[in-house]
Structure 1
Amino acid sequence: MSSIRKKISSSYIIIITITVIIIQIILYGMIRSYYYKNLRESIEGQIKISSDFYNTYLSGDSLKENIFNNRDMFWSNTTCRVQVIDLEGRVIMDSSGYIDNKPVTTPEVTDALKKIPSTSSKIYTNTDFKDGTINAATSLYYDTSVGGVLRFSASTAPVEMVIRKFTYMILGFGALVIAIASTVSLFIANSLMKPLNLVCRGAEKMARGNFKEAIPKYSRDEVGKLAETLNFMSDEIQKNERLKNEFISSISHELRTPLTSIKGWAIILESSDLKDKDEVMEGLKIIEEEVGRLTYLVEELLDFSKLSSGKITLSKEMTNVEEFCLGILKQLEPRFESKVIDVNFNSNTSNKIELDRNRMKQVLINVLDNSIKFSPKKSRIKFDLSEDKEWIKLIIEDEGYGISRQDLPHVKEKFYKGRNVNSSNGIGLSICDEIIGLHGGRFEIESELGEGTKVTISLPRRN
């Protein structure tokens, strides 16, 4: 679980760190652009004022005469380095006091000599002092022609210092944000891991067979849903375990009864002198009946095992449903007569559909046998066949004891044994439901205690 905590916290930290770095880069670019723009606009504004003053009031004299007459006092109002350059590109006046005879051929000077009206400013790196300069130049006129160039230069070092301070502030703030985010991400990871740890411990207890202790629901998110699912699974396992134990108990009882009867009669017959033929025949008949009961029970268990494992396959054939149902009723006629039960059969269809005859016979015999078993003597069972566009419906309705509301939702569940004393091992209806489901049909049971039971088997007309 610690690896999950690391993954969560590291993911948060990585995302926040990348976001902070991107924001820092954007802020750095914006600040740098802002300060350099202001510096450029300031220099260009100053040089424009100076050149306009010169061209308005001093352009009547030549450039050298104005410099000789010390008419450059207005240039002293700027902090920039001021240079006056003649038409050959040579510096004839420099406010720094240093004059180089080499001609100046930088782009802003070349543009000014060509009478390009817009003031041109460029940024250069001074390799000697390892800082940058920003230069601006404009034309100076003698009468109506260009008499020279006025050039302003300013160091970018102060701007770089301000930008550097802001950069340190941004980096410090970013580091603080990352530190806070890391702490918060660890807190979030721990808060997420707490319910996960509870779920993990609960799952480990379930894996060891302890299903009685529910996992506390710590949150309403997916982790809470997982806890609910595991608790539901635990409840279902306990429920199935209880039903399985009841089923084993019921099966053991049902197996013990015929085996006891068979063993008892075998002892009687073994000790008998076989002179009493009636007694022998009665014993053999009982043994035969009990063996039949055992055979039926074993077959039911085998069917249940096959259905549960999904190994059973259907062998379908076209079947006339009405004739099929009448044949089953004929087979069970002795059972009906033994309890004086009147069977009312009505059919509104003679269609043929694809059925596994043996499996559907098993279903109908099971349902009808339950109706006989749970109905009083001299009662009635109604068997109706009907159809619509999609389904053929087999409806069996008796006047028996009915099923309680508590038992009704569970009667089709595996191993469920109802509260009625006549209830058997609890797999018959489960098998019926599986078989009908394999046919693509529906198996519905409606009942109220003391008012009989209605079973509806819906089979699709086209498989």
Structure 2
Amino acid sequence: MIRFKTLYMRLWSAISLLIILVFAVFMVFQWQLMQGFYFDQQAQQMAANAQQLASMIESAQNSDEVEQQVSMISRFLNAGITILSRDDLVQGQSGSMVGMMNGRGHNPAMLSRRDYSQLLSGNTVVYKSNMPMRYTENIVAATPILIEQQIAGAVVMHVPAETLLSVVSVINMRTLWLAVILMLIAMLFALWLSNYISRPLTAMRNATLDIAAGHFSKKVNIKGEDELGQLASAINYMSSELAKLDQMRRDLIANVSHELRTPLSLIRGYSEALKDGVVKDTEQQKQYVDIILDETARLQKLVSDLLDLSQLESGSLSINPHPFSISRCIHEICRRFEAAAAKNQIELTASADDNIIVHADEGRIEQVLYNLIQNAINHTPTHGRIIVSAEKHDGKAFIQVSDTGRGISPDDLPHIFDKFYKGEHNRKGTGLGLTIARGILTAHGSDITVKSQPNQSTTFAFYLPLYREVA
């Protein structure tokens, strides 16, 4: 048993069934139409023949001539002919002629009383009827005979309907064969059309399976502006995006592995040195412990950054906005970095207008400022200057972190917010700080911009909504 599992076979079967149904309905209507049309043509022809015979009888000189003409026409037309007198018509109209025989043919008892009345009125009658005792259908045409403008009788002509049906059957059989040939051609076309429609779908299915298996370079070579072409373009776009995501995943693993390897190696090396008693000097032991603690803090920062990055990319980063003083926040963070700035002989200045109250997540904004100031200290040379400022502008709090450091090269500038991107001269940190800072600000409905002049200055800026606008 054939099971039509594929779209190709189901589509072809559906179209084929529709074609067969349409042709079947067409043949039924055509059969009825042809039979009705041919009957009308034959009826008109018989009525004309009957009227012609009546005219010949009207002009005949004697009964022998009438009988001769009737016999000749009957044989020529292969039709039964009955000549009725006026008395026959009168008796038929009264209903007293049924069963009578006439020497020139069958008594047309198939004529109704209404038909006799029509003949007596001078009208021609054409219809279908059954011959008495034979139960065969006939086509009957009857027309009155007029002599000196008086109804003298009638000519009744009848032929078996089988003759008509045989001709119609021949025509219908030829039409049927033509319909079968056309139907086979249509089904072959449906077969090609089904394959034409299903082939791109099969190609796209195979491509998606390859993509699911990790072959992101797989493309669907289907062009067009229709739905199939649009679907193919969407699959190709999906493949490209998955390839990018896969590359990002590989880069993430490589970068994390690299960031973990160095501090872990240092922690292990100094820990083994302390364990084995290689270092005897107390001061040097303290330095080793400080290095281990610093590298541990570095690992902790990396893990914290990775968790924040994961939350940002999944959209699950928690933001709890509330009113707080951005001025106080800036001064507090700058105080935390005073020692680090002084160690590098960098002037760190907080320049924020008093009483700037914003509506944001204070902890997350502190995290943004911490990353920006830390980056500024890492990239500002000795005797440089860092300014952290906040001011009201266009109904918002406008915050800037500016430094007089080495700046950012034009080649690095478009990529500084990419994950793990450190630039040509940057080897400190995890390369995630600016990525996280931008994600936090995006979650606040804000953005961060950067302007930099190589070997002169760099300025990061972002804005936050003022509290009174939210209240």
- What interval of TM-score do these two structures reach, taking the shorter chain for normalisation? 0.7 to 0.9
Matched, 1:170 2:169: no
Contact 1:140 1:147 in 2 (8 A): yes
- Partner AA of 2:82 in structure 1: Q
What pairs up with 1:179-194 in 2 under 5 angstroms?
179-194=184-199
Contact 2:266 2:292 in 1 (8 A): yes
CA shift in 2, pair 1:359/1:68, >3 Å? same
What is the CA–CA distance in structure 1 between the aligned matches of 2:460 and 2:125, rounded to whole Å? 98
SS of 2:91's partner is coil
Matched, 1:40 2:46: no
- Which digits, 9 at most, give the CA deviation of each residue in 1:128-187, with x for residues without a partner? 767532223445567777665543333333432232222122221221122223333333
Unaligned runs of 5+ in 2: none
How far does residue 17 in structure 1 lie from its aligned partner after superposition? 2.5
SS of 1:297's partner is helix
- Alignment match, 1:294: 299
SS of 1:83's partner is strand
How far does residue 3 in structure 1 lie from its aligned partner after superposition? 1.9
How far does residue 112 in structure 1 lie from its aligned partner after superposition? 0.8
TM-score, scaled relative to structure 2: 0.72
> Between the two proteins, what is the percent identity of the paired residues?
20
Unaligned runs of 5+ in 1: 59-64
Structure 1 vs Structure 2 CA RMSD: 4.8
Contact 2:222 2:229 in 1 (8 A): yes
- Alignment match, 2:34: 31
What is the CA–CA distance in structure 2 between the aligned matches of 1:164 and 1:429, rounded to whole Å? 89
Q: Work out which of the residue numbers 76, 94, 106 in structure 2 matches 1:99.
A: 106
Q: Which moved more, 1:450-459 or 1:255-264?
A: 450-459
Contact 1:244 1:415 in 2 (8 A): no
- Which digits, 9 at most, give the CA deviation of each residue in 1:265-311, with x for residues without a partner? 545656388874x5555444444333322221111122233444454
- Alignment match, 1:82: 81
SS of 2:26's partner is helix
Q: Work out which of the residue numbers 315, 319, 335 in structure 1 matches 2:320.
A: 315
CA shift in 2, pair 1:251/1:385, >3 Å? farther
What pairs up with 1:48-447 in 2 under 5 angstroms?
48=51, 79=77, 80-85=79-84, 86-89=89-92, 90=97, 97-100=104-107, 104-106=110-112, 109-112=115-118, 115=121, 119-124=124-129, 132-139=137-144, 148-211=153-216, 214-215=218-219, 217-220=221-224, 226=231, 228-266=233-271, 271=277, 276=282, 279=284, 282-319=287-324, 328=333, 331-332=336-337, 338=344, 340=346, 350=356, 352-353=358-359, 355-374=360-379, 378=384, 401-402=407-408, 404=410, 408=414, 412=417, 421-422=426-427, 424-439=429-444, 441-443=445-447, 445=449
Question: Number of residues paired by the alignment?
Answer: 447
Q: Which moved more, 1:126-135 or 1:13-22?
A: 126-135
CA shift in 2, pair 1:433/1:185, >3 Å? farther
Contact 1:374 1:422 in 2 (8 A): no
- Partner AA of 1:301 in structure 2: L
Q: Which moved more, 1:171-180 or 1:191-200?
A: 191-200
Contact 1:82 1:94 in 2 (8 A): no
Contact 1:349 1:385 in 2 (8 A): no
CA shift in 2, pair 1:69/1:163, >3 Å? closer
What is the CA–CA distance in structure 2 between the aligned matches of 1:128 and 1:344, rounded to whole Å? 125
Q: Which moved more, 1:195-204 or 1:160-169?
A: 195-204
- Partner AA of 1:254 in structure 2: E
What is the CA–CA distance in structure 1 between the aligned matches of 2:433 and 2:364, rounded to whole Å? 12
Contact 2:81 2:105 in 1 (8 A): no
Q: Which moved more, 1:68-77 or 1:294-303?
A: 68-77
- Which digits, 9 at most, give the CA deviation of each residue in 1:395-448, with x for residues without a partner? 66667533655872x655556665554375454444445444444x25355668
What is the CA–CA distance in structure 1 between the aligned matches of 2:451 and 2:208, rounded to whole Å? 39
SS of 2:90's partner is coil
What is the CA–CA distance in structure 2 between the aligned matches of 1:375 and 1:111, rounded to whole Å? 125
What is the CA–CA distance in structure 2 between the aligned matches of 1:126 and 1:372, rounded to whole Å? 120
What is the CA–CA distance in structure 2 between the aligned matches of 1:446 and 1:192, rounded to whole Å? 52
CA shift in 2, pair 1:137/1:321, >3 Å? farther
CA shift in 2, pair 1:446/1:97, >3 Å? farther
- Which digits, 9 at most, give the CA deviation of each residue in 1:211-258, with x for residues without a partner? 4x5345154465555555445444444443333333223223322333
- Alignment match, 2:24: 21
- Partner AA of 1:315 in structure 2: N
- Partner AA of 2:138 in structure 1: T
What is the CA–CA distance in structure 2 between the aligned matches of 1:135 and 1:397, rounded to whole Å? 113
What is the CA–CA distance in structure 1 between the aligned matches of 2:10 and 2:327, rounded to whole Å? 67
CA shift in 2, pair 1:238/1:49, >3 Å? same
- Which digits, 9 at most, give the CA deviation of each residue in 1:69-124, with x for residues without a partner? 86577766573543344211138999983334x85552761451573x76443223
Contact 1:348 1:386 in 2 (8 A): no
TM-score, scaled relative to structure 1: 0.73
CA shift in 2, pair 1:6/1:349, >3 Å? farther
CA shift in 2, pair 1:174/1:423, >3 Å? farther
Matched, 1:12 2:15: yes
Contact 1:343 1:380 in 2 (8 A): yes
What is the CA–CA distance in structure 1 between the aligned matches of 2:369 and 2:348, rounded to whole Å? 17
CA shift in 2, pair 1:175/1:235, >3 Å? same
What is the CA–CA distance in structure 2 between the aligned matches of 1:349 and 1:23, rounded to whole Å? 88
Contact 2:319 2:361 in 1 (8 A): yes
